[in-house]
Structure 1
Amino acid sequence: MNKEPKNQPKPNPNGFKPKFNSYWIYAAIIAVIISFNFFGNNITNTDISRNKFEDLLRSNSIENILIVNNDYAEIHLTEEAQKEFTSQSKDESLPWVNAKPVLTYNFGSLENFENVIKENKEKYNLSIDLKNVNKTDLFDSILGFLPFILILGLWIFFMRRMSGGAAGGGAGGQIFSIGKSKAKLFDENQKVKVSFKDVAGLEGAKEEVQEIVDFLKSPEKYTNLGGKIPKGALLVGPPGTGKTLLAKAVAGEAGVPFFSLSGSDFVEMFVGVGASRVRDLFKQAAQKSPSIIFIDEIDAIGRARGKNNMTGGNDERENTLNQLLTEMDGFGTDVNVIVIAATNRADVLDKALMRAGRFDRQIYVDLPDLNERNAIFKVHLKPLKLGNDVKVDFLAQQTPGFSGADIANLCNEAALMAARKGKEAIENEDFLDSVDRIVGGLEKKNKIISAKEKKTIAFHEAGHATASWMLEHAAPLVKVTIVPRGQSLGAAWYLPEERMIVQTEQMLDEMCATLAGRAAEKIIFDRISTGALSDLEKVTKQARAMVSIYGLSEKVGNLTYYDSSGQEYGFTKPYSENTAQLIDEEISLLIEQQYQRAIQILTENKDKLTELAERLLEKEVIFKDDLIKIFGQRAFLSESEVLEKKLKDQEETTEENNSEVKS
């Protein structure tokens, strides 16, 4: 049997270990001073009365008397008198009382006291030694210097707090480190787990960034041919497309020190702080060269200079930008430090920042296309528990214009929706409901709508569905609903084609399908309502773009009044009043032509429009299959519909083959 050693310390059950604090020393010193002041004199000194003093004087028990500071007298007894006095005044509660006590006597007037002693010496023939001495009390001396001690202590305290950085706490705790960089360092001690495998899509951007990582890992491959390391790469694209995620992947793949911070980290209320932080950042990066600096949202400090005549904060931002320009490509910048920046507002950046030698490469991170969305879905669907009816290809088709962040939110929303319904797996219906939730808003089932309004909404949405089914270039319909969502009372969901360029006929068909809702109200009820506000806003923007931006109007001609630099014209227009009137007339003519076209299409299919609206009133939500039953197969199949049909045919063929094998 094993025996525990006797001298082994017992473990602390709570696991608590007191930490040493320097304030304990200060508390101990103050306690000693207070104790000495209140108890020190009382331990060794004993005050006596006048009668007691005269008794001691007559009995010749006093050996000598010390007059202290002409204020009081210290009376020292003879040995016999000391023994007698000690035995009489012994106090068991004060064992530390001195064996030779010093008696103190407050004599009042010094002259009278000296006369009394002189008279008694002559009368009783006493041999008393009388001396005058000056003594200084330690506590009184400390008390005199106490204000200076307190000021010195407070000064040391605040200096330590201010120079303590984050340990000091608060904004004031960083007053002496305010010019230091706030960049977060990722190196061999703190690694990022994200790699290029976790970044779906963005193949072109990954290839560009991968080359920078390869250069840092094996620079000889490029320098042997005379190549130089690129100074920087700028990631540009809409929000949520994966710019920051791509930078995280660089940090995970690079294997070199990676400094990450935001553009707003350079901005501070104190003058010169931004430039100081830029210098400190590049100094740290140079010490750990080769290294990478990632600045997210660089437009916070990289805006074009000289666009604002106001002074103050704008000057401080420009000073920060000037320092960044100097550090990226100035004298003495021959170290292997690469700067990667990200922004979704590249149009406002300064031209000096965008030139070659600073940001050599501008990598555009666009919204994902169909194939990229497919890959992104596969990444985000991995941790989810999916049902058998969930198909990644179908989800990718249903989410045109979604960014990577939108797709991640969609997958999470579908999981929450399935859990809310008590399901054991996430089904395809949950993903479709999540798309409706993200695009249209929260479903409002308890919203009070009269029967008359509901009928108007049903014919309005049925008008959209009918026109889009009959038009060649209109987006194919997915489903129609009259359930209120967000601020809309009904909606028709389409699957738009992913086009790089749009032709005139395509834009006109889309405008016609958009105006078909109001046209249906006009045909059925012979009156119109305010429910077409969003439709009118959409077609007005489309028509204005066709006339004044894309040059698709014959009367206006091949002219555009669009400024790609992002600088607006202010209070002046780039065209004359006659041209403005012509533009307005062309916009109105385009919209009216498509409205009449929508009325014609719906009039020819009025019976089918009515049947569709009645089914919509009955079910509240109808899908593409319901339209096929009413209108028949659509004459114009889009690319997505062709792909969907091929997938359906393949599934049917697979099922037939499986059934034959079983039989």
Structure 2
Amino acid sequence: MKQQPNKKDTGTPKDKNSKSPFGGFNSNWILILVFGSFALFTFISSPVSATQKISWTFLQDSLLAKREVSKIIVVNKEFAEFYIKKDTAANKASKDSAESLFGNIQGPKYRMTIGSVENFENKLEQAQSSFSSPNKIDVQYQNRTSWGSTLSWILPLVVLMAFWFFMLKRMGNGSGMGSSMMNIGKSTAKLAKKDTKSSVTFNDVAGLKEAKIEVMEVVDFLKNPEMYTELGAKIPKGVLLVGPPGTGKTLIAKAVAGEAQVPFFSMSGSEFVEMFVGVGASRVRDLFKRAKEKTPSIIFIDEIDAVGRSRGKGGGFQSNDERENTLNQLLTELDGFGPNTGVIVLAATNRPDVLDKALLRPGRFDRHIYLELPTKDEREEIFKVHLRPLKLAGDVKPKDLAKLSPGFSGADIANICNEAALIAARKKEKKVHSHDFMDARDRVVGGMERKSKIIAPKEKETVAHHEAGHAVVSWYLKNVDALVKVSIIPRGKSLGAAWYLPEERQIVTKAQFIDQMCASLGGRAAEEIVFNEISSGALDDLEKATKQAYAMVSYYGLDEKIGPMSFYDSSGQNDRLVGKPYSESMAKLIDQEAQSLILNAYKKTKAVLVEHRAELEKLAQHLLEHEVAEKEDLEAILGKRIEFIPKNADVNDDTQLSVI
């Protein structure tokens, strides 16, 4: 019996709220009170009455003639209100309706707009004289404030203010569109505290040995700063990770966050820029302020090119310089704090050519770490990392997979491993086999097979001879990469493909360029030789050959007439120029030499196909029957290919899958 009062006294929040109609008196109740007050005020200030608009004829013939008007009130010299006597039938009906709603409320029955007060008075006096009325009607004059018109512009303003108050309240609680409007200038960086262990460590970063050594030195300095400071060394203030997409820049940053054991602030370069002026610079200041308060610490800015673009590029077309203000503040913060503050900036980008030079100089980003596509040994390590969670069959060997994937980035390798697992699951297999990885590789490079796509017999014959032309030319030219497979099964947007295993090269000679152009033009040349007609199917081949020709002439200096000249601009300064960085006569010469290279390569391609016309027809028929020609089929039709093995080179170590 003693416990019941205690339960009643403590109660739940719901019980407490039930005692008061306002509950916690939050912003919702404030809005209800505001709207309710205005509605009640409008209702009271404008009492309900059955006022009807009438004309002068009705007033004269009906009301004045029957002596039903008790008094007239002229309001604001604009309109007149007519009150009806109590004993009339018309007033009785309106009185009953008014009493039923609001009690005994007597209001005007009729209303009429008057032109002028003087004219109204004259007409009213003449009408009363004509009816010989002994009692004159009492006429009163009033000035009233029209609350309805006033509220018509006050109420929308109040509603708008209440709406903004409600939205700001929601955003302040984190339940709306993000952070509070009052904190819009604050940094949005995500903080990984030193006691929070990241799931990614340097063991998960395969390959990239040199890059890991550079970054691990930064981590070691944060853990053991005395070892470096005793010798007078200073840790770099900024480390810039540069490399193609998918090479592991963000992965290294995640590993640093997991290994450094210091506060780690991470955000994207695009998060600095907002629609409001000055927000970017304010967020930069707040970010570095937070980092300095938690020293030693690391700041990671991903895709820094979003805010670090070179100043002045396209300045004449920009309406504001908000991004430049943000960059200026970033430059100041990078070179502003002392050498012993312990704040290190880590940034990543795949477009270093667009970054401002002031951002790249020593003192801001002292170290530039370039991440390139992995080598064969590094690809093997990456495969081992991504194969860990998979259930593999005995025929899967990371070394073999690495040989078949040069030019693949770490992201590509991860995608292939995932696709192989999906393919094996789709086949209801219990383990992932080697052929699943081959299918995944073909899908990633060439796209999904579309066997259901219906191709007309004539078009299919054209595609077969087109792909056979690529195969025959590449088979008999020594500088073209090894051919392993030809298919006329539609994949992605292509109707057919030829798979090559090219060597990994750091440089390309002029002879290799020309033979690659011949291999690209083999499909179009085969169509012309066999059908004496050309089609639009060689669009991709022509684009590739044309780009190679112009690169040889204008970039690599491989043309005899133009000589050792290059118009390649690695700094990007020529982007500001409206015209070309060379004269019209040089432009004409470049066009002529590029055209000459393509035409000579086309003639060489046709000569090879004419010489091996029988093999071309035989391979095309094989493709029409089987749709795919593997390496064994190619050797049976075209003969054993002579391998041109350079000294101290292993062809098996330099293989890749590519599509022409």
Task: Check whether TM > 0.5.
Answer: yes
2:604 to 588, 597, 610: 597
1:411 to 414, 417, 436: 417
Amino acid at match of 2:584: E
Q: In structure 2, how many angstroms separate the alpha carbons of the residues matched to 1:645 and 1:396?
A: 8
Instruction: Confirm or deny that 1:273 pairs with 2:279.
Output: yes
Instruction: Confirm or deny that 1:319 pairs with 2:314.
Output: no
2:216 to 210, 213, 222: 210
1:174 to 170, 180, 185: 180
The equivalent residue for 1:629 is 636
Q: In structure 2, the residue corresponding to 1:321 is in which secondary structure? A: helix
Q: In structure 1, how many angstroms separate the alpha carbons of the residues matched to 2:24 and 2:189?
A: 42
User: Number of paired residues?
Assistant: 516
In the TM superposition, 1:141-540 aligns within 5 A as: 162=168, 167-171=173-177, 174-309=180-315, 314-330=320-336, 334-540=340-546
Amino acid at match of 2:380: N
Q: In structure 2, how many angstroms separate the alpha carbons of the residues matched to 1:253 and 1:547?
A: 49
Change (3 A) 1:233 1:646: closer
TM-score with structure 2 setting the length: 0.73
Q: In structure 2, how many angstroms separate the alpha carbons of the residues matched to 1:328 and 1:212?
A: 16
Q: In structure 2, how many angstroms separate the alpha carbons of the residues matched to 1:521 and 1:543?
A: 22
Aligned-pair distance for 1:188? 3.3
Q: In structure 1, the residue corresponding to 2:344 is in which secondary structure? A: strand
Deviates more, 1:521-530 or 1:305-314: 305-314
Instruction: Confirm or deny that 1:578 pairs with 2:585.
Output: yes
Aligned-pair distance for 1:19? 8.1
Amino acid at match of 1:615: H
Amino acid at match of 2:529: I
The equivalent residue for 2:151 is none
Q: In structure 2, how many angstroms separate the alpha carbons of the residues matched to 1:300 and 1:22?
A: 50
Amino acid at match of 2:241: L
Q: In structure 1, how many angstroms separate the alpha carbons of the residues matched to 2:301 and 2:204?
A: 21
The equivalent residue for 2:106 is none
Aligned-pair distance for 1:638? 4.8
Instruction: Confirm or deny that 1:27 pairs with 2:22.
Output: yes
Q: In structure 2, how many angstroms separate the alpha carbons of the residues matched to 1:278 and 1:521?
A: 60
Q: In structure 1, the residue corresponding to 2:498 is in which secondary structure? A: strand
Q: In structure 1, how many angstroms separate the alpha carbons of the residues matched to 2:296 and 2:520?
A: 56
In the TM superposition, 1:604-643 aligns within 5 A as: 604-638=611-645, 642-643=650-651
Deviates more, 1:468-477 or 1:310-319: 310-319
Q: In structure 2, how many angstroms separate the alpha carbons of the residues matched to 1:546 and 1:23?
A: 83
Amino acid at match of 1:392: P
Q: In structure 2, the residue corresponding to 1:636 is in which secondary structure? A: coil
Change (3 A) 1:155 1:543: closer
Paired residues of 2:172 and 2:181 also in contact (CA < 8 A):
no
Q: In structure 1, how many angstroms separate the alpha carbons of the residues matched to 2:242 and 2:172?
A: 33
Q: In structure 2, the residue corresponding to 1:379 is in which secondary structure? A: helix
Aligned-pair distance for 1:378? 1.2
Paired residues of 2:194 and 2:264 also in contact (CA < 8 A):
no
Paired residues of 1:161 and 1:168 also in contact (CA < 8 A):
no
Change (3 A) 1:158 1:476: same
Change (3 A) 1:595 1:566: same
Paired residues of 2:423 and 2:436 also in contact (CA < 8 A):
yes
Change (3 A) 1:403 1:19: farther
Amino acid at match of 2:289: K
Q: In structure 2, how many angstroms separate the alpha carbons of the residues matched to 1:21 and 1:339?
A: 52
Change (3 A) 1:22 1:417: same
Aligned-pair distance for 1:421? 2.1
Aligned-pair distance for 1:253? 0.8
Q: In structure 2, how many angstroms separate the alpha carbons of the residues matched to 1:216 and 1:351?
A: 28
Q: In structure 2, how many angstroms separate the alpha carbons of the residues matched to 1:370 and 1:614?
A: 37
Aligned-pair distance for 1:397? 2.6
Change (3 A) 1:606 1:360: same
Q: In structure 2, the residue corresponding to 1:384 is in which secondary structure? A: coil
Paired residues of 2:554 and 2:565 also in contact (CA < 8 A):
yes
Q: In structure 2, how many angstroms separate the alpha carbons of the residues matched to 1:624 and 1:566?
A: 44
Paired residues of 1:205 and 1:363 also in contact (CA < 8 A):
yes
- The percentage of aligned residue pairs carrying the same residue is 60
Amino acid at match of 2:489: V
Q: In structure 1, how many angstroms separate the alpha carbons of the residues matched to 2:285 and 2:645?
A: 56
| Structure 2, unpaired ranges of 5+ | 4-11, 34-156, 656-660
Paired residues of 2:192 and 2:257 also in contact (CA < 8 A):
yes
The equivalent residue for 1:105 is none
Aligned-pair distance for 1:627? 1.4
Change (3 A) 1:286 1:519: same
Q: In structure 2, how many angstroms separate the alpha carbons of the residues matched to 1:211 and 1:378?
A: 25
Amino acid at match of 1:423: E
Deviations 1:317-336 (A, max 9, x none): 11111111111112657411
Q: In structure 2, how many angstroms separate the alpha carbons of the residues matched to 1:27 and 1:531?
A: 74
Q: In structure 2, how many angstroms separate the alpha carbons of the residues matched to 1:397 and 1:305?
A: 44
Q: In structure 2, how many angstroms separate the alpha carbons of the residues matched to 1:311 and 1:180?
A: 29
Aligned-pair distance for 1:252? 0.6
Amino acid at match of 1:170: G
Q: In structure 2, how many angstroms separate the alpha carbons of the residues matched to 1:172 and 1:385?
A: 42
Deviates more, 1:412-421 or 1:348-357: 412-421
Deviations 1:322-373 (A, max 9, x none): 1111111126574110000011111111111111000000111112222222
Q: In structure 2, how many angstroms separate the alpha carbons of the residues matched to 1:616 and 1:18?
A: 78
Q: In structure 1, how many angstroms separate the alpha carbons of the residues matched to 2:15 and 2:472?
A: 80
Task: Please say which structure displays the higher CA radius of gyration.
Answer: 1
Paired residues of 2:471 and 2:498 also in contact (CA < 8 A):
yes
Paired residues of 2:305 and 2:355 also in contact (CA < 8 A):
yes
Amino acid at match of 2:624: L
Change (3 A) 1:472 1:302: same
Aligned-pair distance for 1:280? 1.2
Paired residues of 2:446 and 2:492 also in contact (CA < 8 A):
yes
Amino acid at match of 2:630: F
Aligned-pair distance for 1:432? 2.0
The equivalent residue for 1:94 is none
Paired residues of 1:165 and 1:177 also in contact (CA < 8 A):
no
Q: In structure 2, how many angstroms separate the alpha carbons of the residues matched to 1:425 and 1:235?
A: 37
Aligned-pair distance for 1:440? 1.9
Aligned-pair distance for 1:162? 3.8
Q: In structure 2, the residue corresponding to 1:176 is in which secondary structure? A: helix
Runs of 4+ residues deviating >4 angstroms = 17-26, 28-31, 154-161, 163-166, 310-314, 331-334, 637-643
Q: In structure 2, how many angstroms separate the alpha carbons of the residues matched to 1:205 and 1:393?
A: 23
Where relative contact order (Cα < 8 A, 6+ residues apart) is larger, the structure is 2
Q: In structure 1, the residue corresponding to 2:321 is in which secondary structure? A: helix
Deviates more, 1:623-632 or 1:221-230: 623-632
Paired residues of 1:397 and 1:495 also in contact (CA < 8 A):
no
Aligned-pair distance for 1:644? 3.5
Paired residues of 1:462 and 1:609 also in contact (CA < 8 A):
yes
Paired residues of 2:234 and 2:339 also in contact (CA < 8 A):
no
Change (3 A) 1:625 1:638: farther
Amino acid at match of 1:260: S
Q: In structure 2, the residue corresponding to 1:436 is in which secondary structure? A: helix
